[in-house]
A = this chain, B = another copy of it.
Amino acid sequence: MNKKEVYDLIVIGGGPAGVTAAIYAARYKLNTLLISKEIGGQMLEAHKIENYPGFKSISGKELADKFKEQLKYLNIPVKEVRVDGLQKSEQGFIVGTAEEEAIEGKALILALGTERRKLNIPGEKEFLGKGVSYCAVCDGPFFKDKVVGVVGGGDSAASSAVLIAKYAKKVYILVREAEMIASPSWLDEIKEHENIEVLYNKSVKEIEGDKMVSSIVFEDGEELKIDGLFIEIGSIPATALAKEIGVKINDKGYIIVDERQATNVDRVYAAGDITTGSNKFRQIATAIAEGAIAANSAYENLKKK
């Protein structure tokens, strides 16, 4: 890239919010760049999406492929690289990546989504990819006829368990609390699977094994023999970059946005799971709305000069 080129808008993050922001920005004829290590974001982990209007049933991967097609069709430049730094510049903002000098933009839309929450227990890091996984849709099929644990009590734990149960011999859902908080339709689905068993008041203390996971130990000292452990205990917003340019986040770590998706920093907008918008109802449907609004706000702001 010519170092002197300054984009009107740089969208960071390739999930539904970022992709929609880029599509809208292109319609406004803003010189827009989309940067993301991959297109699709956390949606890529969804094996079946049945609540996005227009597709009766589609995988996250398939929908991401449609996003890619659409970006290409609209001639929107996409750089598939991880962003490793952000700073303010005279013209706006400089986005640092591992691959090249620097990319400059007059305005930013941060759509970095969230990252998987960890248990932070012994064995978790050690056995990652050796029985420990954060992605049922990616790794579930590897546990055919095995015994698997799923840690968590919400929708993602429930949906992961249901998926894994299609492959595994036995799935234990390991709930720290006395009940699950997953939605009724998921709870019903769990009941329909005879090979899923829910264990309540169980906190995993340690993951054990040799080359592969062989068992887990709970806080109460009990042990459970398993071949794999899926950790589905939620996500944390990826706001490290936002902090570098002074963007305000709330006490739970989400970027504070107003109704126009504006942050406290002029010409910096945020959209999707990373924000406090849409009243924390974090769906593809709400992420794309936030992306569209953020692009509209950036356009209105950039028009001023």
Contacts and interface: CB of A to CB of B under 8 A. Distances in A.
Nearest to A72: B56
A301 interface: no
Contacts of A229: none
Given A29-B184, A289-B286, A74 B53 contact: no
Contact of A51 (B27, B183, B281): B27
A22 to B, nearest CB: 10
A28 to B, nearest CB: 6
Given A73-B57, A74-B56, A279 B292 contact: no
Contacts of A73: 56-57
Interface of A: 16, 19-20, 23-24, 27-29, 50-57, 63, 66-67, 69-70, 73-74, 183-185, 188, 259-260, 278-279, 281, 283, 285-286, 288-293, 296
A231 B293 CA distance: 28
A53 B260 contact: no
A182 to B, nearest CB: 12
A29 B279 CA distance: 22
Given A19-B53, A278-B289, 15 more contacts: A16-B53, A20-B53, A23-B50, A23-B51, A23-B53, A24-B51, A54-B55, A54-B63, A54-B66, A54-B70, A55-B66, A283-B289, A283-B292, A285-B291, A285-B292
A209 B157 CA distance: 68
Nearest to A187: B29
Judged by DSSP, the binding face of A is helix
Contacts of A290: 289
A67 B53 contact: yes
Nearest to A17: B53
A188 B285 contact: no
Contacts of A184: 28-29
Contacts of A188: 29
Contact of A55 (B70, B183, B283): B70
Contacts of A27: 50-51, 183, 185
B20 A285 contact: yes
Contacts of A292: 51, 281, 283, 285-286
29 contacts: A16-B53, A19-B53, A20-B285, A23-B51, A23-B53, A27-B51, A27-B183, A28-B184, A29-B184, A29-B188, A51-B292, A53-B66, A53-B70, A53-B288, A54-B55, A54-B63, A54-B66, A54-B67, A56-B74, A259-B279, A278-B289, A281-B292, A281-B296, A285-B288, A285-B291, A285-B292, A286-B293, A288-B288, A289-B290
Contacts of A288: 53, 285, 288-289
